[in-house]
C-alpha cells in the first residue's frame, strides 16, 4: 500500500484493502455456515439456523449452490437466517 507523507492512500488502495477484508470475512462466514449444514445433515435435518447478519456475497453464493434462504430480524430474536436444502 502506498501511503503519502501525510498518511493518505488512494481510493483504489482503500478498495483493495476493504475487498480483501470482505473476502476474508465471507470465507469465515461460509466456513461457519457449512459446518452448521454438515452438522444438520449428520442429524438428518433439512435446514439450519444461522444466527447473525449474513453478508450479501455469502447469500448469493449459497443461493447459487441451490440453498433456500429466509431472513428474519426482530427485537426479541435478533437477526438470523433459515438455510434449507
Q: Which three cell numbers stand for residue 26?
A: 465471507
Residue 17 pLDDT greater than 80, yes or no: yes
Banded pLDDT at 6 (limits 50, 70, 90): confident
Banded pLDDT at 5 (limits 50, 70, 90): confident
pTM: 0.80
> Per-residue pLDDT tens for 25-68?
999 999 999 999 999 999 999 999 999 999 999 999 999 999 99
Question: Which one of 1.10.3470, 3.30.450, 3.30.1370, 3.10.110 gives the CATH number of domain 11-84?
Answer: 3.30.1370
pLDDT given at position 14: 85
Give φ, ψ of 3 to 5 degrees.
-115, 130
CB 72 within 8 A of CB 81: yes
Amino acid at each position: 500500500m502506498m501511503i503519502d507523507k501525510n498518511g493518505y492512500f488512494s481510493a483504489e488502495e482503500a478498495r483493495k484493502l476493504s475487498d480483501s477484508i470482505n473476502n476474508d470475512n465471507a470465507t469465515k462466514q461460509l466456513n461457519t455456515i457449512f459446518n452448521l449444514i454438515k452438522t444438520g445433515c449428520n442429524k438428518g435435518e433439512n435446514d439450519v439456523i444461522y444466527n447473525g447478519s449474513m453478508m450479501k456475497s455469502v447469500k448469493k453464493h449459497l443461493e447459487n449452490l441451490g440453498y433456500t434462504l429466509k431472513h428474519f430480524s426482530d427485537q426479541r430474536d435478533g437477526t438470523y437466517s433459515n438455510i434449507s436444502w
